[in-house]
Amino acid sequence: MSEPFFNLLYFEGNLKREGRLMVRLRVSGVLLVIFGLFTQGCGSSESEKEVVVERQEMQDISNQMLADGLLLLPDWLGYWREQGFSGYATDFDLAQSSPIENLERPEINPLKESESMLAKHQIRHPKGLGVIDVFDYKVRIDEQGGILYEPDSEVIFYRENGMRERLLFIGPSGLFEDAAWIDDQHLIVAGFFEGESGFSPVLWIVSLDNGFYHMFESSYTNPEYLRHGYLEEKLSLPR
């Protein structure tokens, strides 16, 4: 057998072996891609399940705090029930969970040594770490004793270390009406939003430990609700 013919056979044999190898490599590559997609899909599915479980746990915890917090606001709850609202925790649905804005600055509680009628309505922290103020930003009392209302509302935490932290803010479409400490890390705030159909009660749970607040809305609306009616009754303000 001549050398050229032998080389040709050797070359053809190599081509066949390389062809079979390439086929095996292609099949292996396809299997790896399929396996990767499968495991990635399983991982995504597991992650999504974990997120759903975490959200459900957060919802359950928030709902329990909501029920506990409402018991601490009998005046506010009674006032809204007089307006026709049933006022149960199940009447509220979680509408939003957001981080607290980190708006903190040095400022001593302006009502600490004041004779203002609003001072007694500040809410002391259960462990004495400061006070919550709901009304001082909103309500202005002039020298003649007249009452003025700012368009916006804030919930302020005056800490004992001399810092002022804004926990919540709301524009002219809403109002913070009352608040209470659920425990040393959680605050419930009550108020309303005004929409096209009227006024609807709203609750906020502020979690200081994780820096979040949860807002709960109600489907109940009252077009005849007096915007400052509860404040006037609670603070004994002239109408």
Q: How far does Cα 29 stand from its chain's mean position?
A: 47
Token representation of residue 26: 């292609």
- Measure the CA–CA gap between 40 and 45, rounded to whole angstroms: 8
pLDDT of residue 57: 58
Q: Are strands 147-149 and 123-124 parallel, antiparallel or unpaired?
A: unpaired
Residues whose CB falls within 8 Å of the CB of residue 217, separated by 6 or more in sequence, listed in order = 92, 93, 95, 193, 200, 202
CB 188 within 8 Å of CB 66: yes
Task: Determine the Cα–Cα distance for residues 28 and 189; give it in Å rounded to an integer.
Answer: 61
Structure token digits, residue 136: 């001082």
Question: Pick from 208, 207, 203: which is nearest to 189 by CA?
Answer: 203
Q: 89 with 67: CB under 8 angstroms?
A: yes
pLDDT reported for residue 16:
44
Q: Can you give the pLDDT at residue 188?
A: 98
Both structure tokens of 230: 């509860």
Q: How much is the pLDDT for 9?
A: 35
Indicate the pTM of the whole model: 0.77
pLDDT for the residue 224: 97
Which burial class, exposed, middle or buried, applies to 153 when counting CB atoms under 10 A from its CB (0-12, 13-18, 19+)? buried
Residue 238: phi and psi, rounded to 5, are: -70, 140
Q: Reduced to 3 states, what is the DSSP secondary structure of residue 194?
A: strand
Domain range summary for the chain, segments of one domain joined by +: 1-70, 75-234
**Which pLDDT tens digits describe the chain residue by residue (239 residues)?**
444 433 433 434 443 444 443 434 343 444 444 445 444 555 555 555 444 545 665 666 678 899 999 999 999 999 999 999 999 999 999 999 999 998 999 999 999 888 888 999 999 999 999 999 999 999 998 777 788 999 999 999 999 999 999 999 999 999 999 999 999 999 999 999 999 999 999 999 999 999 999 999 999 999 999 999 999 999 988 76
